[in-house]
Amino acid sequence: MKFSLVRNDVASNARAGIITTDHGVIETPIFMPVGTVGSVKATHIRDLEEEIKAQIILGNTYHLYLRPGLDVLRAAGGLHKFNGWNRPILTDSGGFQVFSLTDIRKMKEEGVIFRSHIDGSKHTFTPENVMDIERVIGADIMMAFDECAPGTSDFNYAKEAMGRTHRWLDRCWKRFEETEPLYGYKQSLFPIVQGCVYPELRKQSAEYVTRKEADGYAIGGLAVGEPTEKMYEMIEVVNQILPLDKPRYLMGVGTPANLLEAISRGVDMFDCVMPTRNGRNGMLFTSEGIINIKNEKWKADFSPLDENGSVYVDFHYTKAYLRHLIISKEILGPMIATVHNLGFYLWLVKEARKHIVDGDFATWRDMMLPKITRRL
């Protein structure tokens, strides 16, 4: 994997870059739709390619390990062959999912013992077997196994979790270097910076992970209960240390405003379930603000979902029609809302990139933030 910087914004830390993988090129900043079980919910691969114009999607190690299972994925030739997506894929390590299973998992230095949320069967994730699982899934970018401390953690717990994350990273790195890709193309391993909301821990973690000289780095453990301003502060602390010539991935974030604020602070890659999950529940993100399509006010509104929407999705459904579908619990409703929201997210980061390259990103960002955060 290669990363090259195209332009830095003069009035902020925003960057435009290019990531080159064996499955294609990714123009940054980029948003990555979340395909938890090998599919982006309510979205065809065709729509991801043609309407949304996604350049990379995510798969989830925990969920894919449980279903369809490694035997099926290996027999298929990896996730790309299994789901028909021929562009880059990133897999998380499953760490966040495992640690969210508070009542059905037990953590040890060796790894984590947990019970499946599907059938209650017992499993163990270690840094070593997570690397093996991600090799079988075959993502272009693999994430290291880490411990994600809640945003409300006290200093001692956050420090303990960070230390374990570093020790697990060493084991992940060793296993990664001992093994080879299974399907004839290269894979990269990204370490994850932890440290909760404590600047000194974030600095220590950023310094530690950069010793690996990886192809890119992730910032984890944010948007997990801490105040938004604290999240932005931690991004600034970490990005002062992470290498300028490597991509930076902010995991699990966030709202459209979060994306623009984080891009301003030097983040290149994002993922979040918000556009798909909120879309399925009737929330639309648009260039003029946020819409709750279930509201009565849209019942006879025959205007487009977004007056500027034709620039990011090539369909012409009205607010009234989508409201009817959502209220009627018609399957098409969540599909339209999901494609719309993902199209908007991809348009937003593409516009951010354009304005970084043109040299007026900060001015454009300041104009966009009040618009995209207001409720319509």
Whether 92 sits among the annotated catalytic residues: the reply is yes
Query: What type of residue sits at position 192?
Result: I
Residue 266's CB is within 10 A of a number of other CB atoms, namely 22
Q: Is 274 exposed, middle or buried (0-12, 13-18, 19+ CB in 10 A)?
A: buried
Residue 299's CB is within 10 A of a number of other CB atoms, namely 12
| Neighbouring residues of 336: CB distance < 8 A, sequence distance ≥ 6 | 315, 317, 322, 325
Active-site pick, 47, 140, 215, 271: 271
Active-site pick, 92, 215, 268, 306: 92
Q: How far is CA 374 from CA 198, 279, 289, in A?
A: 31, 17, 5
Whether 366 sits among the annotated catalytic residues: the reply is no
- Name which of 27, 32, 25, 9 is nearest 17 in CA terms: 27
Alpha carbons 345 and 349: distance in angstroms, whole number: 7
Alpha carbons 6 and 3: distance in angstroms, whole number: 10
Give the DSSP per-residue string, 253-320: B--HHHHHHHHHTT--EEE-SHHHHHHHTTEEEETTEEEETTSGGGTT--SBSSTTGGGT-----BHH
Alpha carbons 46 and 333: distance in angstroms, whole number: 18
Give the DSSP per-residue string, 187-245: -EEE-EE--TT-HHHHHHHHHHHHTT--S-EEE-S-SSSS-HHHHHHHHHHHHTTS-TT
- The catalytic residue positions are 92, 271
